[in-house]
């Protein structure tokens, strides 16, 4: 695969990671779904950390190590900002990030 594809995969994985990590917290879950607590906060956190690792792997596949770390941190900060803005203005847009598999108790 080309470097562009790897970096796009890394960006998608990072957006998923920040969304899942945010939804694992009770205030954000309540903001998005209206219920008290996420039924499986541990599963959401595990999915978020796995997606962070997947984003790092994609970054290392695209660039040499020193640049990959820089790109990973840049993607992380951009995805965190995007997730926080979505939570601030349109929290319902995060609902598709949580399929039924991640909602099971």
Confidence at residue 101, expressed as pLDDT on a 0 to 100 scale: 60
Contact 45, 16 (CB under 8 A): no
pLDDT in tens, 56-101: 999 999 989 999 999 999 999 999 999 999 999 999 888 888 776 6
Three-class SS string for 80-103? HHHHHHHHHHCHHHHHHHCCHHHH
Q: Which two tokens stand for residue 48?
A: 């978020």
Whole-structure pTM value: 0.89
Contact 95, 33 (CB under 8 A): yes
Domain boundaries along the sequence of the chain: 3-98
Residue identified by tokens 């979505």 is 86
DSSP 63: S
Confidence at residue 1, expressed as pLDDT on a 0 to 100 scale: 73
pLDDT in tens, 13-46: 999 999 999 998 888 988 888 877 777 888 889 9
In angstroms, the CA 66 to CA 18 distance is 23
């Amino acid at each position: 695969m080309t470097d562009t594809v790897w970096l796009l995969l890394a960006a998608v994985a990072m957006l998923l990671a920040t969304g899942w990590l945010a939804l694992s917290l009770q205030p954000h879950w309540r903001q998005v779904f209206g219920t008290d607590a996420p039924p499986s906060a541990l599963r959401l956190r595990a999915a978020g950390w796995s997606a962070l690792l997947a984003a790092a792997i994609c970054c290392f596949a695209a660039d040499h190590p020193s640049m990959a770390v820089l790109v990973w941190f840049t993607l992380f900060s951009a995805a965190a900002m995007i997730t926080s803005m979505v939570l601030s203005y349109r929290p319902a847009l995060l609902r598709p990030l949580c399929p039924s598999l991640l909602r099971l108790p």
